[in-house]
Chains A and B, each alone.
Chain A
Amino acid sequence: MSKTAKVTVDGRSVDVPDNSNALEACRAAGVEVPHFCYHPGLSIVGQCRMCMVEIEGMPKIAASCTVPIRDGMVIKTDTEKAHAARNSTMEFLLINHPLDCPICDQAGECKLQDNAVTGGLPVSRTSEARRQYPGYERTDIGKHVIADMTRCIQCTRCIRFCEEITETGELSFIERGGHTIVWTHEGRALDNELSGCAADVCPVGALTTKEFRFRKRAWWLDKTRSVCTGCEVGCNIAVEHKDRVVHRFIPRVNADVNDFWICDFGRFRSEELNEQELFRPVVRGKETSWGDAQDAIKAAVDAAQKDVLVLGSAKLSTETNWLAAQLFGKHLGANVEFVVDRGDRHRVKNKKADGNVAGWLEGYEAAPNSRGAEAAGVTRGGDTGALAAVLTGTLLPKVIIVLDAAFSAKAEDPAVIAALRKAGTLIVCSRRRSALAAAADVLLPVGGVHNDEGTFVNVQGRVQRFDCAYIPPPIVRTQLEILTHLGKKWGLFDTRWTARSVFEEMRATVPGYAGLDWDSPALVGSAPSASPAAPHDVLEAPAKGGLGLPALQEVGS
């Protein structure tokens, strides 16, 4: 373990790791020194000159991020000289900034805006014309990113990101001095697997993503902790949504998994969550109630007498898979299996991925939770499992229940659908209209991953919790609800069960879950940050379970 040093910040004494810099020491003491170019995931360049503080024994004012701390250091952020220096930097940054906050997407989560509100001069002393950048405004510089140099404050976070994190180096300073622009190298585009993060790290509106531009004002967004379902890495994300519409994913800091980043593939899957197409249960072509649908299922399953195949899913929570395994496998003796696609490689950079050396954390499976599904007691199928047998025609179950219509790319294959259709009764849970949903005898409308909570087990074997952004639209249910209701029909489950109570129930038997606490920081991860540009500036939100509602004992207390 690294040693600590005692530092005094504005009269407050604090112990910090001895490899910290003065800015980090101030943060540890609860003093936020305004800054732009400092980013905890990137190297220190000390060039925005915003984080100026006074340090006892140093003759000149210093940029706190560039000063390594030493034991006994006395840092003063609240002196006249320090304020004057920071106000001065703000003035310099604003003399050429377009001040177009009303039409800027970054407004509300902009470091320049924040620092102008909390400090800086109340007046503008310049009467010179502001710098303009014809040809470098609102320009498409890559697959996902749009650049507008008029807003750039030349902090080089994006340049450093592309050099140090993605190691692709598309961006650079071009020209010099007041004419400096940040742009892609001649003939290159900002196109790397994490390019959306370049817009994240941008503290102002110079880099924005095409997907989020003009969608929603940042201050309207509700932020829910979640885990990316794009692959098995399980990057921590915040689902940012408003009025039951998901607008974007932003990475949540997790030093053990995704650090400050997520890949473009994962980030831009957010729109899929808005694609709810099915709203009512359907039994043999007729819209019906949940009660009738459940009765139909129970009748079919009872009649089949164990000759049932239940397809769980690596895209569903461990809790949901566990309920399926308990009800259909353990109690009814059916085959409960899942298959997972081995897809393209997706990866994210982590400072300590390889021991303590920076490296990539890679995922190949196209689902977030194959390890959790397996731990929950669902059999991992493949070339030889029950599903494979159904597809080759050697197995013909009377009832097939597909818990997730998007369980695999196979679900869109007409040959697969035809094979599944051979079952006497085909029961499918789906969000969207699809050939498989159309083929079902019983079609159950379900919500998405953001409509439920639960846990996933990622590629490292780490159990991570995701929260519910908002409950599904009426009368759509989650798979967990469907299973608890079905379980009650056999007298096994209680309809009041939530993911949390299931989690607590299954801890005793599911490998890797013993002793875990639903609310522990290890499961929950960090809170969503106030702004993607300030990942270290997390919102103070207590870890809570239960569909975002306070736990019962908190009500009235």
Chain B
Amino acid sequence: MSKTPVPKGFTPVHSARFGKKGSQKLAGYEADGGYASWKKVAKGWKSGDFTPAKIIDMVKASGLRGRGGAGFPTGLKWTFVPPKEKRGGKPVYLLCNADESEPGTFKDRLIMEEDPHQLLEGMLIASAALDVKHAYIYIRGEMVRCAEVLNEAVAEAYAAGYLGKDILGSGLDIDLTVHRGAGAYICGEETALIESLEGKRGHPRIKPPFPAVSGVWDCPTVVNNVETLAAVKFILDNGPEWFKGMGRNEKNTGPKLYCVSGHVEKPGVYEAPMGIKFMDLLALCGGMKGGKKLKAVIPGGASAAILTAAEVADLPMDFDGVAAAKSMLGSAAIMVMDETTDIPKAVTNISKFFAHESCGQCTPCREGTPWLNKMLKRLIKGEGKRDDLDLLLQISNQMGNGMTICVFSDAAIAPVISGITKFRDEFEAYLSKAKAPDFALAAPAEVTPKVADRVAEGIHG
């Protein structure tokens, strides 16, 4: 694996060891200074040099925000866990959300495949800070290689005494289990992840109660993304000030892995300080593929609103910067589209994904996502009707903003609304090409195939 370029003056953090020979192995990790922080924490635990409050304060001071998509301050999230005396004897669980399934995202996979011990060390530190006795990594089912690497790493960590009972003489007992999901997008939503971990269908829960109060098996639970937990290790290594030193401002700090895909010369995972300008990032990727013109960018995975070339011209790629442009950084899955891209087709493709992945719990999402997809499919087939664009926008507006239990439907409508409002002329071009509408009933009925048939056809999923 070749080294990816980084911005000038920036030393890679998460990706420093990516591609290095034996980077997954404990020996190599230790040789590069790994587990030093964990040893420090374990050593200082009994003497009181390290306390939960101290670790949480460091994380808070670093300004670390959740790398999974929402960008919620991690330290603050940790403080929502009730203090021991208010837990009624219930244990606290730490769940690492490794169900990386947002289209366009592939950063957590690299951490887990290339440098799994940085995640384990981060999780151990977080577990100590949160009084966690058992931590879980919920990993997306399709990522078989990741699960294998992680399991090997966990075994190594147990053998070396970094995990298990009375770790390094600190009196801390921490176990860690890697749990493989079954490959549903919705299980990346933290409460659906919890349900799935409990062995149920991945259906998001009603909130409140939030997981910090009542999560897995009704116990206080903290769910953090892979990159977030790995970042905790680096904060302990180098201190919160170092972490804060990177980034655009006080609220957008630290190093960030960006997943760049689409029409760029060299798509891949790029590490840069939080808040790198989009154009600088594009330059790192070798610019637009074939020198074509930039047309649009999806800045944070399929759930994020599409931005035009003008909107990204001077856009800092961090939580608040992208939010100010009325989209979101999400998982930093940046999909770049050049002038040849057919936006209606791209939006239709995204809507197909969401129609396929809706969990089916809430009416607006279950019925709305396929409706949007059917209309868009009809539109690009040249069978659109005059009112379709307005209807698409109206339906989208009926689905979001509290109409459903989780934010899936808000995610599903973002590309539709942004696509139609920003590239309306392209959609209207399809309308003007439209044939005279057929009699509605002539359309073939959509059919739910029998489960057995779907299995036989190999499309069951």
Contacts and interface: CB of A to CB of B under 8 A. Distances in A.
Interface stretch (B254-262, B333-341, B368-376): B368-376
A49 B369 contact: no
B405 A177 contact: no
Given A46-B206, A135-B450, A177-B366, A129 B444 contact: yes
Interface string A162-183: 0000000000111111111100
Contacts of A60: 401-402
B360 interface: yes
A294 to B, nearest CB: 65
Contacts of A92: 363-364, 366-368, 371, 398
A178 B398 contact: no
B201 A173 contact: yes
B444 A178 contact: no
A241 to B, nearest CB: 36
B451 interface: yes
A129 B443 contact: yes
A220 interface: no
B295 interface: no
A3 interface: no
Contacts of B374: 128-129
Nearest to A84: B398
A89 B403 CA distance: 9
Contact of B361 (A47, A95, A135): A47
Contacts of B371: 92, 95, 126, 128
Contacts of B402: 59-62
Interface string B130-171: 000000000000000000000000000000000000000000
A131 B448 contact: yes
Nearest to A134: B447
Given A176-B358, A176-B359, A181 B405 contact: no
Nearest to B447: A132
A85 interface: yes
Given A92-B368, A178-B370, A49 B362 contact: yes
B357 A46 contact: no
B252 to A, nearest CB: 24
A92 B396 CA distance: 12
B448 A129 contact: no
A62 to B, nearest CB: 7
Contacts of A186: 451
A125 B375 CA distance: 12
B364 A133 contact: no
Contacts of A134: 447-448, 450
A216 interface: no
B355 interface: yes
Interface string B167-186: 00000000000000000100
B363 A49 contact: yes
Given A48-B363, A127-B385, A178-B366, A61 B401 contact: yes
A93 B403 CA distance: 14
Interface in B224-263: none
Contacts of B446: 128-132
A178 B367 contact: yes
A146 B455 CA distance: 25
A47 B366 CA distance: 10
Given A60-B401, A177-B358, A178-B367, A125 B391 contact: yes
Contacts of B403: 49, 52, 61, 85, 88-89
A96 interface: yes
B358 A178 contact: yes
Interface string B388-431: 00010000001001111100000000000000000000000000
Interface string A86-122: 0011011101100000000000000000000000000
A466 B434 CA distance: 67
A164 to B, nearest CB: 14
Contacts of A174: 451
A27 B448 CA distance: 38
Contacts of B369: 177-178
B445 interface: yes
The CB with the most chain A CB atoms within 10 A, among B201, B365, B404, B446, is that of: B446
A47 B405 contact: yes
Which of A93, A133, A176 is the most central at the interface, judged by chain B CB atoms within 10 Å of its CB? A176
A228 B161 CA distance: 66
Nearest to B202: A176
A85 B402 CA distance: 10
A45 B371 CA distance: 24
A174 B405 CA distance: 20
Nearest to B400: A60
A409 interface: no
B448 A47 contact: no
A508 interface: no
B444 to A, nearest CB: 7
Nearest to B358: A177
Contacts of A125: 391
B358 A88 contact: no
Nearest to A60: B402
Contacts of B440: 127-129
B177 to A, nearest CB: 26
Nearest to B370: A178
A136 B367 contact: no
Nearest to A52: B403
B445 A130 contact: yes
Interface in A130-147: 130-136
Nearest to B460: A175
Nearest to A126: B371
Contacts of A47: 361-363, 405
A486 to B, nearest CB: 63
Interface in B194-225: 201, 206
A386 B147 CA distance: 78
B392 to A, nearest CB: 11
B21 to A, nearest CB: 42
20 contacts: A47-B362, A47-B405, A49-B363, A49-B364, A61-B401, A62-B402, A89-B403, A127-B437, A128-B374, A129-B374, A131-B370, A131-B445, A131-B447, A131-B448, A132-B448, A134-B450, A136-B448, A172-B201, A176-B360, A177-B358
- Closest 6 pairs between A and B when the two form their complex, measured CB to CB: A60-B402, A180-B360, A177-B358, A178-B370, A92-B367, A88-B398
Given A92-B371, A177-B360, 12 more contacts: A47-B362, A60-B402, A61-B403, A85-B403, A88-B403, A92-B363, A96-B367, A128-B375, A154-B366, A177-B357, A178-B358, A178-B360
